[in-house]
Structure 1
Amino acid sequence: MWLELLLASVLGLVIYWFFSRDKEESLPLEDGWWGPGAKPTSEEDESIHPFKVDTSDEEIEDLHQRIDKFRGSPPLEGSRFHYGFNSNYLKKIVSYWRNEFDWRKQVEMLNKYPHFKTNIEGLDIHFIHVKPTQQASGCTPKPLLMVHGWPGSFYEFYKIIPLLTDPKNHGLSDEHVFEVICPSIPGYGFSQAPSKQGFNSVAAARIFYKLMLRLGFQKFYIQGGDWGSLICTNMAQLVPSHVKGLHLNMALISRTFYTLTPLLGRRFGGLFGYTERDTQLLYPFKEKIFYSIMRESGYLHIQATKPDTVGCALNDSPVGLAAYILEKFSTWTNTEFRYLDDGGLERKFSLDELLTNIMLYWTTGTIISSQRFYKENMGQGFLAQRHERLKVFVPTGFAAFPCEILHAPEKWVRSKYPKLISYSYMERGGHFAAFEEPKLLAQDICKFVTLVELQ
């Protein structure tokens, strides 16, 4: 008993020390050049050009030929998604992809929003820019940058965009109307891959900041999950005076301190500020944190060390690519889906939606460059990077979706984001929030913006 009290007291002092260090610092903005060769001496071309997604008979024919040569894998009775992608269900995916999926139709759908490209720091940066079609009287649209992660794409935001740009016609309040900008991270989709080593989340954040300036926005809102949450966090650390508000649906909080608190949190929950909901989402610890991280982090170790090796195989086989990516859309949406033969994929998404995201990786050949982003951010040790040690001093909102890979209690989030003004336990949803639950996420973004503007 006395040992437990002593341990609790020591941990309490450690917590106080961490939470009391609120010195406001920012990251140096610096500059970069990520294109091939040396940086030109001429001034950067800041022009913005329209862009359209397209396809060809040759592209589709090549895809079909590769799918036809897929060798399959031996069935394993009762494996469901415990061994990765279920080989029996993969046959259904392959058959649909080969015989029913209409890529030309999906290309038309992708082009329903305006696409653009502009060159920043030597890279052609792709983005979609959607303005409200109807503007409420006296309501100026608020610029909102939304950043995707891996293995997603700008396409993740297609269902939430109309809720933000035209809320009244989609059953939401039009108190806030947004002008939405969704870029592709360099090395993903239609954004050019860096030619040089070292392109990390801070470099991506700087490029997206320059993009917003190029579009004429001096102050703006930013939102992200997965890598997008880190990139947006870095933007707030680089240029806090330009960020009106930061909204996240995932928090990468990696202080060593937090590896200890879940072990004691159930017994000393009040000490760590855990609510009853936090306890439900974090415990039992072995299953919901330890075993879950062990099950779901194999890809991370590969991509953070030697991404090009597995990338070569994925870039050569469309079916291999689909299995590798879609397995994440199963268990990251809900870990319980691993007990289902179909991985629960069609409970949240249509096959057309899932395969469209796969095609954005396949047709652009960007799976390798997208995986390198892990190597650049984690290969030298994530904790060693300066931005991980800095807090964020802009108004922050957080949406805690219950099926996210690792739940982040409010106390954890506030330690990194002292100006946290909105923390919401979401009703349902997992890792791909905008793709899974666009209405819930849109409502939480609007709630957060209301709080920001009341300050």
Structure 2
Amino acid sequence: MLLTSPFLIVVYTLFLRSPPPLPDVDLEAWWGPGEETKQDTSVRTFEVQFSASMIQDLKNRLKNHRKWTPPLENIGFQYGFNNKQLDSWVAYWAERYNFQERESFFNKFPQFKTNIQGLDIHIIRVRPEVAAGVEIIPMLFLHTWPGSVREFYEALPHLTATSEDRDFAIEAIVPSWPGYGFSDAPARPGLGTAEMAVILRNLMHRLGFKKFYLQGGDIIGISLATLFPQEVLGFHSNVGASASTSAILLNLIGAGMPSFVVESHLADRMYPLSSTFGFLLEESGYVHLQATKPDTLGIAISDSPVGLLSYILEKFSTWTKNEYKYLPDGGLDNHWSRDQLLDNLMCYWATSSFTTSVRVYAEIFSKRQIGLQLDEIPTPVPTWIIQAKNELIFQPWRILRRKFPNLVAANAIDDGGHFLAFQLPKVFSEDVLKAVAAFRKLESEKNEL
């Protein structure tokens, strides 16, 4: 049938078109170096270690940098990281950042490694002690880029706490993504979001969890919930979004009829489109660079700790609140201590994993990954989304339900940015616990039918 009018195109896209089937994914693909070998299935204890040679090399690089190019007059972070701020950051990292103390801080939670499909995957695993009658439930927490497992350190005590008001407590499993931080990177191309989802699902199986809850602030969590809906008991996301054809179409329709798409008090998070698209265009240059030439960028950033600092912390500034780009210091001291932000940088510098971390963008935007059409496939997993005021993307209930038909809640809050667990750990944790309670109630009601 030829679609000859815009009305028919809208009707077909929103109501008549069938979603594609779930793609076949290789659950045992080998990502380690060389030919597949016998896999070590043990789960080994692990501790973060900052070697003396690495620390000395880092300090030398920090202290022997070239003179900065002066920033333009009367400028904040509009052109990127303001060079006038670099001296204090570099001096702090080289002279005041206590490497031994921070190493101990990193090791405050139990950590392990286990080999999944040829890659040693690093995990933090916090299991609470509970009273009789309290069920311990597993929940997988996924970090973001340019974040790391460090995002969850302040939230973990809240997430794993027990309460007389709850009949459950969360056992938190927090892995470093493959190629990030303390996890191995793939030896060959092709490890995109679907393949990462497989590795993380297999990781949970290795730990003894055939079914589990999931929290994710990035596309990896959405991919995992989409591919394994029978294994994910509930999905909590702080970046719930869909790039499906119907989502894009509804977004465009709402530009002319906002009330058709979004509640009036939230419309300014989406419209006018010139503002939201302008923001995304201004802030998404890194995506194109990392999706096309990640290794070239990686050579420069991996060789310079000052480059790493300025590249990543500029994202922490703007992605926390766009208006921070007009401040001389980028607003970086408004939410975190310097130790906190430098801890996150150490996850990249100490492991030399910046290059392998940004390669995932090349995989996400490959023809093969796009051809899987995961955005077009609804997931029936019960889903709860918290929407920070300053998150990069906002989608309302009407759009989100296209991807998440069992959307339990879309909780728009008036604070927070992209790194929500890191910025507002208590708010984040309380929302996760509310979501899990709602998921369990739904499951109980379902079982009673």
In the alignment, structure 1 residue 250 sits paired with structure 2 residue 234: no
Q: Which residue does the alignment assign to 2:302?
A: 315
SS at match of 2:89: helix
Alignment length (residue pairs): 437
Q: Which residue does the alignment assign to 1:368?
A: 355
Distance (Å, rounded) in 1 between the aligned partners of 2:114 and 2:298: 27
Q: Which residue does the alignment assign to 1:106?
A: 102
Q: Is the contact made by 1:143 and 1:217 (CA closer than 8 Å) also made in structure 2?
A: yes
SS at match of 1:180: strand
In the alignment, structure 1 residue 410 sits paired with structure 2 residue 397: yes
Distance (Å, rounded) in 2 between the aligned partners of 1:77 and 1:257: 45
41, 44, 48: which one pairs with 1:49? 44
Q: Which amino acid aligns with 1:195?
A: A
Q: Which residue does the alignment assign to 1:80?
A: 76
Q: Which residue does the alignment assign to 1:385?
A: 372
Distance (Å, rounded) in 2 between the aligned partners of 1:286 and 1:167: 46
Distance (Å, rounded) in 2 between the aligned partners of 1:185 and 1:242: 20
Q: Deviations over 1:212-233 (max 9, x none)?
A: 111111211010002xxx2222
Q: Is the contact made by 1:243 and 1:394 (CA closer than 8 Å) also made in structure 2?
A: yes
Q: Which residue does the alignment assign to 1:285?
A: 273
- The answer for unaligned runs of 5 or more in structure 2 is 443-449
Distance (Å, rounded) in 1 between the aligned partners of 2:51 and 2:419: 30
SS at match of 1:418: coil
TM-score by length of 1: 0.91
CA shift in 2, pair 1:175/1:443, >3 Å: farther
CA shift in 2, pair 1:252/1:378, >3 Å: farther
Q: Is the contact made by 2:19 and 2:377 (CA closer than 8 Å) also made in structure 1?
A: no
CA shift in 2, pair 1:369/1:22, >3 Å: closer
Displacement after TM superposition at 1:239 (Å)? 2.4
134, 137, 144: which one pairs with 1:142? 137
Q: Which residue does the alignment assign to 2:201?
A: 209
Q: Is the contact made by 2:241 and 2:393 (CA closer than 8 Å) also made in structure 1?
A: no
Displacement after TM superposition at 1:199 (Å)? 0.7
Displacement after TM superposition at 1:313 (Å)? 0.5
CA shift in 2, pair 1:292/1:32, >3 Å: same
Displacement after TM superposition at 1:238 (Å)? 2.6
Q: Which amino acid aligns with 1:189?
A: G
Q: Is the contact made by 1:25 and 1:391 (CA closer than 8 Å) also made in structure 2?
A: no
Distance (Å, rounded) in 1 between the aligned partners of 2:21 and 2:435: 22
In the alignment, structure 1 residue 64 sits paired with structure 2 residue 59: yes
Q: Is the contact made by 1:27 and 1:238 (CA closer than 8 Å) also made in structure 2?
A: no
Q: Is the contact made by 2:384 and 2:435 (CA closer than 8 Å) also made in structure 1?
A: yes
Which sits farther off after the overlay, 176-185 or 436-445? Answer: 436-445
Q: Is the contact made by 1:266 and 1:279 (CA closer than 8 Å) also made in structure 2?
A: no
Q: Is the contact made by 2:388 and 2:412 (CA closer than 8 Å) also made in structure 1?
A: yes
Displacement after TM superposition at 1:126 (Å)? 0.6
Displacement after TM superposition at 1:97 (Å)? 1.2
Distance (Å, rounded) in 1 between the aligned partners of 2:20 and 2:195: 24
Q: Which residue does the alignment assign to 2:28?
A: 31
CA shift in 2, pair 1:203/1:386, >3 Å: same
Q: Is the contact made by 1:247 and 1:445 (CA closer than 8 Å) also made in structure 2?
A: yes
Which sits farther off after the overlay, 312-321 or 401-410? Answer: 401-410
Q: Which residue does the alignment assign to 1:223?
A: 215
Q: Is the contact made by 1:125 and 1:192 (CA closer than 8 Å) also made in structure 2?
A: yes
TM-score by length of 2: 0.92
CA shift in 2, pair 1:86/1:382, >3 Å: farther
Tell me the percent identity: 39
CA RMSD of aligned residues (A): 2.0
12, 15, 24: which one pairs with 1:17? 15
Distance (Å, rounded) in 2 between the aligned partners of 1:376 and 1:28: 15
Distance (Å, rounded) in 1 between the aligned partners of 2:438 and 2:239: 20
Distance (Å, rounded) in 2 between the aligned partners of 1:236 and 1:255: 16
Q: Deviations over 1:405-447 (max 9, x none)?
A: 1112112211111111121112311101110111111121122
Displacement after TM superposition at 1:260 (Å)? 4.5
Q: Is the contact made by 1:304 and 1:372 (CA closer than 8 Å) also made in structure 2?
A: yes
Distance (Å, rounded) in 2 between the aligned partners of 1:325 and 1:436: 16
Distance (Å, rounded) in 2 between the aligned partners of 1:363 and 1:292: 33
Displacement after TM superposition at 1:30 (Å)? 3.3
CA shift in 2, pair 1:355/1:119, >3 Å: same
